[in-house]
Amino acid sequence: MKNVLYVPLDDRPVNLDDVIVQGRSAGIHVIAPAAAYIKNRLDSQKTSSGTVLLTTSSPAYGDTAAIRQFVLDHAASVDGFILSADMLVYGGLIGSRRLRTDAGGAYPAYDATATDLLDVIREVKQAHPDKPVYVLDTVMRLATTAFAEGLDLAAYTESRNFMLQPRRSFTEFADILGGYNLSPTDVYGDPATFDKEQYYNARRHKFKTNRYLLEELAQEGYIDFLAIGVDDASTQGVQINEIHYVEARIDEWLGGSGGQNPDKAIILPDADGLGQALLARMANQLYRNGTATRCTVEYFGPHGSTLTSPYEYMDVHQNILRHLDIVGGEAAGDARELEIIAITAADQALAAVNRIEDNFARCVPSLVIDCVGAGAADAAVTEALLGSRQTGSLLGYSGWNTPGNKIGLALGMAQARYAFTVTETAPAALDAAVNAHGSLLFKRFLKDYYYKRLAIGEIRTYSRAHSLYENTAAFADQNMLLFNSPEDYSYLQDLLRERMQKHTDTLFCKNAFLNVCAAPASAIRQIGGGGWSLSQYSSAALPYDDPDYLWGRAFEITLNPDVTLQ
C-alpha cells in the first residue's frame, strides 16, 4: 500500500473523510494530521438579550505550527504529498477569509510567518526530490463566512453582492491590490454589515500567498503540480483581475498556454473537489507513472459549453476539461478508457442509464455527474440511476453542490479507482479496495440525494421552528449549537440518525446495490486483459451514532457507511 501525506483544506467530510476512503479504494493510505491540528469550527460563543441574538464569536482554526511540524516529521516515510496552502498558512479555508486589520508588507516579504509556513513545501521537496509534491490553493471567494468571528448571514449576503459588482480592469499586481474598490468609472461606497477595508486586506494577503506559491515555489520547481480553485466565483467582480493575473503567470512562469498547464498548474472553479482530484493525480502518478487516461465526455441534455453556474466563471464543459487536466486524464475520441456521463437534463436520465448499461456490456468504465440538481442530486436523475443494476459498477459519481465540486468529486473518485484497478493484482489488496470503493459510491448517493435532497429539509424546518431567538428563526440550522437549545440539538441529532438509518436500508434495496441471486449488483474489482472482474454487493451498514453535524450546522454531516462486497 502506498502512503500519501495529506494536509486537507479543512476537516469537513468532503475534504477529509471522503479523501481517506477514496485513498483506500485506490490502495493508498492517506496520512493526515491529528484531528485537533486541523479542527475548523464556526463561532461557538454568543451573547443575547431575551429572544434576540446580539453577537457570536470564537470560531476554531487549524494549528499551523503543528501542521508544519507534522509534514516534516512524516516526510521521509511517505510516497508523496498533497498539501493545502490554506491550511498550512491560515488554518483552513474559513481562516483564509478572516477579516484583517492589515494586508501584510510588500511582496514577497509580506509576512514572515506565512512564508515560513509555505516554505515547508520547499523543505520537503529539497529533502525528497523524487517524491511528488502537489499543492491545492484557492482564490478567495466573494462572500465572508457566515457566523465566523461575529459576521452574520446579512454580512454574507451583502458582501457577496458587493463583491459581485464589476471592478476596473488591471493586469499589474500592485494595481490589482490597490484597485479592489474601484468600479469601471468610479469608487464603491461603504457596506453596512462588514468592514470593507478589512475584507480587502484579507484579499490582499491571500493574493500575495497565491503569487508566492506560483513564483517562489512552483516556478522554482518545489511544487510538481499546483491546483488553484476559485471558491464561490462569478463572471465579474472582485476576483476577475486575480484570476486573469494567475492565468497570465501560469503562462509566463510555468510555460502554460491560455492560462493553464496540465503538467504544472491549473486554475478553475472548485475548492471542495480539489483534494479528491489531486489524490487521483497522485494515484495515477504512483501506479501508472502519470500516463494520461483517455476519456470521452457524453452529455445527456444541453452541452456543457452552454451551461455556466451563477457561482462559477467557467462553463461546465471547460470545467470538466480542466478537472481532467488535474486528475491526469485527457479528452479523447472513441479510443476511450473511461467515459464521463454528464446528465444536464432530467428527461435524459433514462438515456444516460442506457448508456451506462451499454458501456458495462462493452467493458467501458463509466462515471456520472448529475448536473441537473442545484446543490443536491436531482430526484428524477437519482431514481433512474438507482433503478439500474449497472449503476453499482460506476467508478465515480457525484450530485453534490456546484458543478465544479461535482466534477472534482466524481472524476477524482473514478480516476483514482481506474489507476488502481488496471495495475493491482494482489487479491487481498483488490478485496480491501473494492469494499472502500463500494462504501464511497454508496455514500455519494446516501448523502447527495437522501440527505441533501430529502432529510435535510425536515432538519432545517425543525431547527428554524425551534430557534431560541426571533432574529435567527429564518436560518437557525446554520449554527444549531448556538441557535437551538441543547434539548432541541439532541433531538436533531436523533432525528438525523433515525432518518439516515432508514435511508441506508432503502438505498441498499435499490437495484444499483441490491443483492439477489439471479442478478446481483456488482462493482468493478479489477480491469485487465480486455475485460474486468466483478465483486457483488453483500451488505451495507451505517453506525447509528456516526451521522452528526460536525460543524453544528445542517449543511454538512459526517456519514460513513460500511459496504462489503464479495
At 313-329, the pLDDT tens digits run 999 999 999 999 999 99
pLDDT-based confidence at residue 519 (cuts at 50, 70, 90): confident
Identity of the residue numbered 250: I
The model carries a pTM of: 0.97
From 420, 407, 401, select the one nearest 368 (Cα to Cα): 407
Q: Taking residues 63-91, what's their average pLDDT?
A: 98
Q: What percent of the chain has pLDDT over 70?
A: 100
450-467 pLDDT, tens per residue?
999 999 999 999 999 999
For the cut 70, the answer to whether the pLDDT of residue 286 exceeds it is yes
176 phi/psi in degrees, rounded to 5 = -65, -45
220-272 pLDDT, tens per residue? 999 999 999 998 999 999 999 999 999 999 999 999 999 999 999 999 999 99
What is d(CA 327, CA 396) in angstroms, rounded to the nearest whole number?
A: 13
Span 364-382, average pLDDT? 97
Distances (CA, A) of 420 to 18, 23, 25, 523: 17, 10, 8, 14
> Across all residues in the chain, what is the average pLDDT?
97
State the Cα–Cα distance between residues 297 and 535, nearest whole angstrom: 26
Q: One-letter amino acid identity for 24?
A: R
**Rounded-to-integer distance, Cα 451 and Cα 557, Å:** 9
What angle, rounded to 10 degrees, do the helices at 316-327 and 274-288 form? 40
pLDDT at 436: 98
Percent of the chain with pLDDT over 90: 98
- Angle CA(6)–CA(7)–CA(11) in degrees, nearest 5? 110
Determine contact, residues 241/190, Cβ cutoff 8 Å.
no
pLDDT of residue 415: 98
Q: Which residues make Cβ contacts (< 8 Å) with residue 15, sequence separation at least 6? A: 8, 9, 272, 275
CA–CA distances in Å: residue 132 to residues 82, 83, 121, 222, 282: 8, 11, 11, 10, 8
Distance CA 440, CA 381 (A): 19
**Count of Cβ atoms closer than 10 Å to residue 529 Cβ:** 7
**Is the confidence at residue 399, as pLDDT, over 70?**
yes
Task: Look at residue 334 and tell me whether its pLDDT is greater than 80.
Answer: no
pLDDT at 530 over 90: no
* Amino acid type, 530: G
Strands 562-565 and 531-541 come out as antiparallel
178-221 pLDDT, tens digit each? 999 999 999 999 999 999 999 999 999 999 999 999 999 999 99
Q: What is the mean pLDDT of residues 374-395?
A: 97
- CA–CA distance, 19 with 547 (Å, rounded to integer): 17
Q: How much is the average pLDDT of 496-512?
A: 98
Mean pLDDT in residue range 132-144: 98
Average pLDDT of span 142-168: 97
Amino acid at site 295: C
**Length, in residues, of the chain:** 566
Q: How far apart are CA 312 and CA 401, in angstroms?
A: 12
DSSP 3-state assignment of 221?
A: coil
Neighbours of 46 (CB within 10 A): 20
| pLDDT at residue 565, as a whole number | 97
pLDDT for the residue 231: 87
> Which SS3 state, helix, strand or coil, does residue 274 take?
helix
pLDDT digits (tens, 9 = 90+) for 90-131: 999 999 999 999 999 999 999 999 999 999 999 999 999 999
pLDDT of residue 517: 67
Amino acid sitting at position 560: N
CA dist., res. 233 & res. 318, Å (int) = 15
Whether 32 and 67 have beta carbons less than 8 Å apart is answered as no
Angle between helices 274-288 and 17-25 (to 10 degrees): 20
User: Is residue 541 within 8 Å of 504, Cβ to Cβ?
Assistant: yes
DSSP-derived 3-state class of residue 190:
coil
Cβ-based burial of 129 (10 A; exposed 0-12, middle 13-18, buried ≥19): exposed
Q: What is the mean pLDDT of residues 263-292?
A: 98
Cell numbers placing 290: 502519470
